[in-house]
Amino acid sequence: MALVEINFDGIVGPSHNYAGLSLGNLAATANKGRVSAPRAAALQGLAKMRHNLGLGLAQGILLPHRRPNTDWLTELGTDVSEADDVLRAAAFSAAAMWAANAATVSPAADTADGRCHLTVANLRTMAHRSHEWPETLAQLRLAFADAAHFRVHAPVPATFGDEGAANHMRLCPRHGAPGVEIFVYGVSGGGFPARQHAEASKAIARLHGLDPDHRLFAAQSEEAIAAGAFHNDVVAVANETVLLAHEQAFADRPGLYADLRRLMPEVEIVEVPAADVSLDEAIRSYLFNAQLVTLPGGTMALIVPSEAKETPRVAAWLERMVAGNGPIRRALTVDVRESMANGGGPACLRLRVVADPATVDPRFLVDEAKLDRIAACVEAYWPERIAPENLAAPGLRAQIEAARAALLDLLGLPDLA
Ligand code: SUG
């Protein structure tokens, strides 16, 4: 069985807009009211997938959800025309594109029953994301329907906030081998909500059947949350033996590093000092919201957003890193500006699943030719621009619904909403 890391990217939905709904996500709140470009956003996401396929990486997709979510508005006793602006925008949210928040994934090598476990995130902290989970659950149950290899769990009770893989890292000698899973949670963050609760992380570790000696729980530093790190993946990323983290990412950095070195002596911790890159620069440039990947030849590469290379001190740090002797040998750039403006970088857009591609529903996997067909569909159907005040327009709603229907039709997938 060929176990590889597959990146499942959320396709940017036709309702992508800037409504400023995520308190604590500084990019999203700063861009509130801006006119969005859904078509360009989706094409940028597809170009990133094409870039990564070109590197020899396995690529999958997750689909835009049905928007507006009229069932959710009905549960709230309203509808698209009567809802206030905030509820309406929440019902139109395209935030399901950030697949790193879809679920937490424990590969088969880490779990008691030898299956890959996925727990869908409840995303309960932000109203516009709290209604994503039913469709995410339906998609994951279809994509990973092979019960011999996967177990897809419903979300943990909404009492405890869970935001999925964005707060989860895995260190291992290689993807298919047993590893150490790190669950990062938040306690408080200077007036911003802590979106990942420790109890949710612990529940997931239990549900996935992880060996208590191969998992760690670590608190995010309060200063990181206060500076805008609403998810851990804004200040840290891991791949195989490497942890890349900002010096101020964790509340108890020496404790976490010591535990990690004890459980996995071969771990290589690449720390970015605050003196080189401040938390503020890290969050503005999304240096850490990068995809840290092992290329087919064994070289490790960091796929950063263009903004990282445009931020002088971050670009300088990247140059020094690549010129140095560390484990990360290449820094590659992708343009996902439309997603970035809502606080979602390259790593937010993907969910990593270690699996044999032959065990995944092929409709959720892509090659170049399928990406070309999806891009043609986006060109033909996705709105070019959306201003948040236009969300109430019936014509726009019809266009958004028709665009998603065309995509599902193209992919041969049922409407799971
Ligand atoms: O949940 N933005 C998303 C960004 C998610 C990024 N994901 C990771 N870090 N893994 C969020 O804050 C903005 C939508 C708006 O304001 O309309 C938004 O939901």
Concatenate the DSSP letters of all residues of 4-41 into one string: EEEEEEEPPPTT-------TT-HHHHHTTTPPB-HHHH
The confidence band for 1, taking pLDDT boundaries of 50, 70 and 90, is: low
Dist. CA 140–CA 367, nearest whole Å: 20
Mean pLDDT of 172-198: 94
- Look at the chain and report how many structural domains it folds into: 1
Instruction: Give the domain extent around 207.
Output: 4-411
Compute the distance from residue 393 Cα to the ligand 1 centre, in Å. Answer: 24
Share the mean pLDDT of the chain: 97
Q: Is 160 inside any structural domain?
A: yes
Q: Which phi and psi angles does 315 have, rounded to 5°?
A: -60, -40
Any bridge partners for residue 58, and if so which? 6
Q: Which atom of ligand 1 is closest in space to residue 343's alpha carbon?
A: 4
Q: Is 416 inside any structural domain?
A: no
Any bridge partners for residue 189, and if so which? 192
The confidence band for 2, taking pLDDT boundaries of 50, 70 and 90, is: confident
Mean pLDDT of 409-415: 98
Q: Is 113 inside any structural domain?
A: yes
Query: Would you say residue 361 has pLDDT above 80?
Result: yes
Dist. CA 238–CA 5, nearest whole Å: 13
Q: Is 195 inside any structural domain?
A: yes
| Candidate list 128, 149, 197, 231, residue with the active-site label | 231
> If you take atom 8 of ligand 1, which residue's CA is the nearest one?
348
How many C-beta atoms surround the C-beta of residue 384 within 10 A? 10
**Cβ(155)–Cβ(137) below 8 Å:** yes
25 lines ligand 1 (CB under 6 A): yes
Q: Is 103 inside any structural domain?
A: yes
Q: Is 417 inside any structural domain?
A: no
Q: Which atom of ligand 1 is closest in space to residue 100's alpha carbon?
A: 10
**Cβ(405)–Cβ(381) below 8 Å:** no
Mean pLDDT of 247-263: 98
Q: Is 223 inside any structural domain?
A: yes
* Residue 372, pLDDT score: 98
Determine the 3-state secondary structure of 381 from DSSP.
Answer: helix
**Cβ(272)–Cβ(247) below 8 Å:** yes
> If you take atom 6 of ligand 1, which residue's CA is the nearest one?
344
Catalytic, 231? Answer: yes
Q: Which of 231, 311, 242 is nearest to 278 (CA)?
A: 311
| Candidate list 5, 132, 135, 163, residue with the active-site label | 163
Compute the distance from residue 129 Cα to the ligand 1 centre, in Å. Answer: 8
**Cβ(154)–Cβ(137) below 8 Å:** yes
Catalytic, 163? Answer: yes
pLDDT digits (tens, 9 = 90+) for 50-93: 999 999 999 999 999 999 999 999 999 999 999 999 999 999 99
Q: Which of 347, 315, 87, 363 is nearest to 236 (CA)?
A: 347
Dist. CA 372–CA 6, nearest whole Å: 19
> Which residues, other chains included, contact 139 with Cβ-Cβ below 8 Å and sequence gap of 6+?
62, 63, 364, 416
Mean pLDDT of 355-371: 98
Q: Which phi and psi angles does 287 have, rounded to 5°?
A: -50, -45
The confidence band for 189, taking pLDDT boundaries of 50, 70 and 90, is: confident
Question: Which amino acid would we find at residue 305?
Answer: P
Run of H or E residues at 328: strand 328-334
Q: Is 80 inside any structural domain?
A: yes
Compute the distance from residue 259 Cα to the ligand 1 centre, in Å. Answer: 31
| Domain CATH code at residue 189 | 3.75.10.20
Q: Which atom of ligand 1 is closest in space to residue 21's alpha carbon?
A: 16
* Residue 136, pLDDT score: 98
Catalytic, 135? Answer: no
